[in-house]
């Protein structure tokens, strides 16, 4: 009869053999396994959320790192690059769909864009793996200390990806928890960075079960096993915290701003039809019809998505007067539209958010500050000779930065256009006085570029995390994608699904009663996470 102890021992011996085989891989086999691990990790991202696959993904690459050898810095970096290439190619494949909107002009670039983006972003995991290897070799780390060194290096890679060369923090590892509001709540304490740290530590913990082959003393082996079990339970602890926090929150939909009644419009206009000269007027009529559906008179703010108005409103007084007929009495129409200066229509052009009152006057505006390279402008255009993907021959100009818009009768809000919502700690102006701080986030977007793919779901997941981090609601209007009203705990009050056409009538949720720790400290918490990891490494190196 097999005893539990014998079964456990057999399992540990199997783990050791697997670790030895994977660590001993060389050449293309090592890179292929690393790339496959990256693919597995991508399957945990929205909309699939296959979280168990993170365990073989991160355990596998930790075993690969352990076999890099005493002088394997280059091998470690190549392993990380292969992992990142597989991960980003699978997670960001949908970027190529944008090149097929105008396939005649840009279709040829699709495979180069996806492959180039994946290979370029993979440099960040390459750096993380190299840092982890160097720390383990120079400090002679093993077991728990080596795992924490890897987690810290991973966090450094994600942080650099978020900030270098304008940044692209899409699909940070913490976004795998966006399938439920409970699992997102730790972001209120430490942002998406804390969620990423929990993910990597839990997914890499099983690698510790192969540590006996390192010749550690029995007591230290047992300690390592105990820590591995604790780390594996971290997601359960995070869920428990989230459930506790939500139990203390107001019931969903109960805490609202009484006098602000929103109508969100999702017209679901195909991207290929959006800017056609013979369709622009029809597209406007469609959005007007949706806005005027029954219940319009009870609304105070109508919200249209990014570039919903395909005209330069500053130079179109007649169109502004026509749009004014859609504005509720004493309310506003907030819409995306390209913007030019009224006295210089041939000069700079901005991707803007505009607020119109019932007189057809533009009473507030925001110019998108964080532009998409090659989408809204072409870096080194004179050298590369490439055109941007969006309509028009002129590159968009970046706006001056984040603002807080304060319209009479509406709580102050922070406008965000498209992927500006994916940047943690950079979605609102940090106000010195609480009264001046924005009380909600407004995200206008257009995910029609990416068809029926993973992209719109990943974008929506990032938006939900920002609401939890900042402790304020987020209102999201998409041309196509996922339009939604999200409360300050990341709970979805109402939404329109991808590819659906319709409206959302809802009241504006209130901000959370108490500010979140992340809303106070912002990305300083990222540095604190790294400091705490360093402390754990020091303790684990000595005692575990």
Residue 206 · residue 185 · CB < 8 Å: no
| pLDDT at site 346 | 82
Q: What is the H or E stretch that residue 303 is in?
A: strand 301-303
State the chain's mean pLDDT as an integer.
Answer: 93
Q: Distance (Å, rounded) from C-alpha 518 to C-alpha 149?
A: 24
Identify the structural domains of the chain with CATH numbers, from first to last.
9-248+523-543 (no CATH), 260-511 (3.60.110.10)
Q: What are the C-alpha distances in Å from 424 to residues 158, 187, 378, 421, 464?
A: 11, 10, 25, 8, 11
In the predicted model, is pLDDT for residue 511 greater than 90? yes
Catalytic residues: 306, 368, 418
In the predicted model, is pLDDT for residue 384 greater than 80? no
- pLDDT, average across residues 122-147: 96
- pLDDT, average across residues 404-432: 94
- pLDDT, average across residues 262-288: 96
| pLDDT at site 8 | 65
Percent of the chain with pLDDT over 70: 93
374: left (phi over 0), alpha (psi -120 to 50) or beta: left
Q: What are the C-alpha distances in Å from 515 to residues 183, 410, 520?
A: 19, 20, 7
Beta strands in 151-300 (DSSP E): 256-266
| pLDDT at site 213 | 44
In the predicted model, is pLDDT for residue 104 greater than 70? yes
Q: What are the residues whose beta carbons fall under 8 Å from the beta carbon of 297, sequence distance 6 or more?
A: 328, 329
- pLDDT, average across residues 421-434: 87
For 164-188, what is each residue's pLDDT tens digit?
Answer: 988 999 999 999 999 999 999 999 9
In the predicted model, is pLDDT for residue 70 greater than 90? no
Percent of the chain with pLDDT over 90: 81
| pLDDT at site 217 | 61
| pLDDT at site 102 | 86
In the predicted model, is pLDDT for residue 1 greater than 60? no
Q: What are the residues whose beta carbons fall under 8 Å from the beta carbon of 120, sequence distance 6 or more?
A: none
| pLDDT at site 448 | 95
In the predicted model, is pLDDT for residue 212 greater than 60? no
In the predicted model, is pLDDT for residue 423 greater than 70? yes
Least confident among 55-59, 209-213, 370-374, 528-532: 209-213
Pairing of strands 474-478, 440-445: parallel
In the predicted model, is pLDDT for residue 321 greater than 90? yes
Beta strands in 362-412 (DSSP E): 362-367
In the predicted model, is pLDDT for residue 386 greater than 90? no
- pLDDT, average across residues 405-411: 96
């Amino acid at each position: 009869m097999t005893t539990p102890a014998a079964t456990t021992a057999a399992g540990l011996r199997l783990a050791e053999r697997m670790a030895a085989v994977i660590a001993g891989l060389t050449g293309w086999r090592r890179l292929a396994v690393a790339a496959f691990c990256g693919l597995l990790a991508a399957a945990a991202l929205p909309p699939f959320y296959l979280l168990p696959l993170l365990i073989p993904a991160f355990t596998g690459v930790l075993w690969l790192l352990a076999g890099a050898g005493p002088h394997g810095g280059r091998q470690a970096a190549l392993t990380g690059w292969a992992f990142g290439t597989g991960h980003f190619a699978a997670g960001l494949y949908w970027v190529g769909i944008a090149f097929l909107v105008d396939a005649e002009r840009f279709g040829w670039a699709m495979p180069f864009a996806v492959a180039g983006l994946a290979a370029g972003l993979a440099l960040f995991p390459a750096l993380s793996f190299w840092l982890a290897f160097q720390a383990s070799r120079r400090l002679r780390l093993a077991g728990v200390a080596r795992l924490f060194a890897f987690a810290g290096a991973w966090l450094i890679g994600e942080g650099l990806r978020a900030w270098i060369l304008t940044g692209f923090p899409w699909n940070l590892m913490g976004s795998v928890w966006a399938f439920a509001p409970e699992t997102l709540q730790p972001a209120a304490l430490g942002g998406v960075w804390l969620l990423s740290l929990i993910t990597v530590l839990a997914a890499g913990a099983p690698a510790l079960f192969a540590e006996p082959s390192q010749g550690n003393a029995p007591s230290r082996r047992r300690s390592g096993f105990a820590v591995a079990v604790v780390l594996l339970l971290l997601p359960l602890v995070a869920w428990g915290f989230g459930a506790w926090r939500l139990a203390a929150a107001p019931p969903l939909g109960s805490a609202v701003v009484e006098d602000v009644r929103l109508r969100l419009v999702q017209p679901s206009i195909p991207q290929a039809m959006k800017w056609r000269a013979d369709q622009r007027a029809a597209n406007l009529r469609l959005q007007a019809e949706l806005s005027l559906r029954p219940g319009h008179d009870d609304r105070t703010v109508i919200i249209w998505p990014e570039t919903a108005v395909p005209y330069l409103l500053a130079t179109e007084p007649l169109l502004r007067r026509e749009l004014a007929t859609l504005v509720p009495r004493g309310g506003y129409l907030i819409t995306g539209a390209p913007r030019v200066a009224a006295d210089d229509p041939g000069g700079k052009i901005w991707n803007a958010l505009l607020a119109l009152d019932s007189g057809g006057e533009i009473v507030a505006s925001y110019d998108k500050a964080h532009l998409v390279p090659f989408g809204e402008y072409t870096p080194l255009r004179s050298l590369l000779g490439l055109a941007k993907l969006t309509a028009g021959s002129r590159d968009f100009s970046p706006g001056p930065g984040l603002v807080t818009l304060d319209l009479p009768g509406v709580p102050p809000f922070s406008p965000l256009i498209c992927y500006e919502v994916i940047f943690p700690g950079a979605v609102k102006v940090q106000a010195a006085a609480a009264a001046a701080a924005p009380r909600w986030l407004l995200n206008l977007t257009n995910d029609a570029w990416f068809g029926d793919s993973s992209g719109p779901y990943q974008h929506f997941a990032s938006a939900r995390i920002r609401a939890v981090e900042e402790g304020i609601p987020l209102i999201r209007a998409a041309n196509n994608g996922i339009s939604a009203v999200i409360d300050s705990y990341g709970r979805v009050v109402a939404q329109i699904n991808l590819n659906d056409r319709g409206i959302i009538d809802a009241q504006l949720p209130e901000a959370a009663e108490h500010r979140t720790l992340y809303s106070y400290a912002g990305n300083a918490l990222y540095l604190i996470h790294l400091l705490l990891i360093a402390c754990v490494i020091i303790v684990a190196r000595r005692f575990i």
